[in-house]
Amino acid sequence: MKLPPPLDWPSAGIGPDEHFPPERRVTRENWRIYPYSRWAFQHARELVPSRVIRRSSNPRELDEALIDLGGLVLPDETGELITWNEFLARTYTDAFLVLHRGRIVYEHYANGMTAETPHLLFSITKSFFGLLAEILIAEEVLEPEAPVIRYVPELAESAFASVTVRQLLDMTDGVAFDEEYANPEAEIHQYSESYWTPQRGFGGVFEALKKLTARAGPPGTLFRYRTPVADALGWVLLRASGQSLSKLLGDRIWRPSGCADNAQILLDTAGHEIAGAGLNATARDLARVALMILGGGIVDGHWVVPPAALDSIAGGGDRALFAGAGMETRPNGSYRSQWWIQHEGFESIQALGVFGQRLYMEPGSGLAIIRFGSHPVGGNSFTDVIHHNAIRALRGALA
């Protein structure tokens, strides 16, 4: 596939208002399409209604021991050697931050982004709410084997009626849904109208979820990654906790992790917080959350996440079901509580979002990578191989 050049939005004449010519103007209709996305992913909260998640009053300081990666080389997806800077440009990087053994060792911003700029995280959002679900399970507020309709009876006529909370968490629920971004006719494009398109997405995701009635298989028999499942989980968390998702995330993860900047969560067409794709945050605050997780859930001697919650995620999901889903670029993996788990080699847990958002953590080595992007191709499998190669090269440089 021939990709467009990785332009920077400040020099490309792209913006949201009448000062820009129509062909360069970012709108509610085009903001997720390249090149308009180069501006929009750093400004999504200005295009779509959002709710603030307040920063910590006692931000965590981040130690630094910066290294130069300018001389690093790595193979691309074809095996051809490229430089580190070529890798950053070819993957349409907006931010790239590396933590190693508790310190920032590399930090890079491009495309007009800075350390203070929030970026839309897309499906990294799912993993935050998966972690919150595991916290509530550990505290016996949420019952993982309970049917979803115990918490959300409104889904009784949908395909979620026979599904458990655990099956939602691990995406083994079996609800039929096509999330092939490359297919313009896929259901995900119609479903996303409940997020972003008021004139066509009336009722928001809760109404859209009730309309999903087809099944791809019995619950617990197959793994398929689908965004509506995370939105159904968000609805469950809303009911089980009795709190808004922004309050739950702010009280239980954001402020206890010492996040220094406000985050935002986008609202759908009915004003509901978007659990599947709505979080906006800075790279440094994701680094603070990563440090909390790599530190066993403890910050300043206090538990933020119970050990049982992190152990549940790190243990992974059903590997056989994952292998049966055709994840060729993610071998020896599984999916657990909205996190991608790698079980062999350097074991890792990852949160991934379309268009290049990645949060990668290796608990054993203390390595964490936060990267934001605005890639023209939605699906992250398109760049999995080059990212695996970059992580391998980076690991060698740090060694």
- Sorted by where each begins, the domain ranges of the chain are 1-40, 56-350+361-398
Residue 14, pLDDT score: 94
Q: Determine the topology of domain 56-350+361-398 in CATH.
A: Beta-lactamase (3.40.710)
Per-residue three-class SS string for the chain = CCCCCCCCHHHHCCECCCCCCHHHECCCCCCCCCCHHHHHCCCHHHHCCEEEECCCCCCCCCEECCCCCCCCEEECCCCCEEEHHHHHHHCCEEEEEEEECCEEEEEEECCCCCCCCCEECCCHHHHHHHHHHHHHHHCCCCCCCCEHHHHCHHHCCCHHHHCEHHHHHHCCCCECCCCCCCCCCCHHHHHCHHHHCCCCCCCHHHHHHHCCCCECCCCCCCCCCCHHHHHHHHHHHHHHHCCCHHHHHHHHHHCCCCCCCCEEEEECCCCCECCCCCEEECHHHHHHHHHHHHCCCEECCEECCCHHHHHHHHHCCCHHHHHCCCCCCCCCEEEECCEEEECCCCCEEEEEECCCEEEEEECCCCEEEEEEECCCCCCHHHHHHHHHHHHHHHHHHHC
CA distances from 211 to 196, 304, 312, 313 (A): 18, 37, 31, 30
Residue 198, pLDDT score: 79
Determine contact, residues 343/168, Cβ cutoff 8 Å: no
Place of tokens 């060729």: 328
Residue 185, pLDDT score: 87
Determine contact, residues 358/350, Cβ cutoff 8 Å: yes
Residue 301, pLDDT score: 95
Question: Nearest 5°: phi and psi at 313?
Answer: -70, -50
CA distances from 109 to 44, 93, 96, 148, 217 (A): 18, 8, 7, 41, 44
Side chain identity, residue 268 = D
Whole-angstrom distance, CA of residue 47 vs CA of residue 67:
37
Output the tens digit of pLDDT for each of the chain's 399 residues.
789 989 899 999 999 988 899 999 999 999 999 999 999 999 999 999 999 999 999 999 999 999 999 999 999 999 999 999 999 999 999 999 999 999 999 999 999 999 999 999 999 999 999 999 999 999 999 999 999 999 999 999 999 999 999 999 999 999 999 998 888 888 998 999 999 987 676 789 999 999 999 999 999 999 999 999 999 999 999 999 999 999 999 999 999 999 999 999 999 999 999 999 999 999 999 999 999 999 999 999 999 999 999 999 999 999 999 999 999 999 999 999 999 999 988 899 999 999 999 999 999 999 999 999 999 999 999 999 999 999 999 999 998
Neighbours of 4 (CB within 10 A): 9
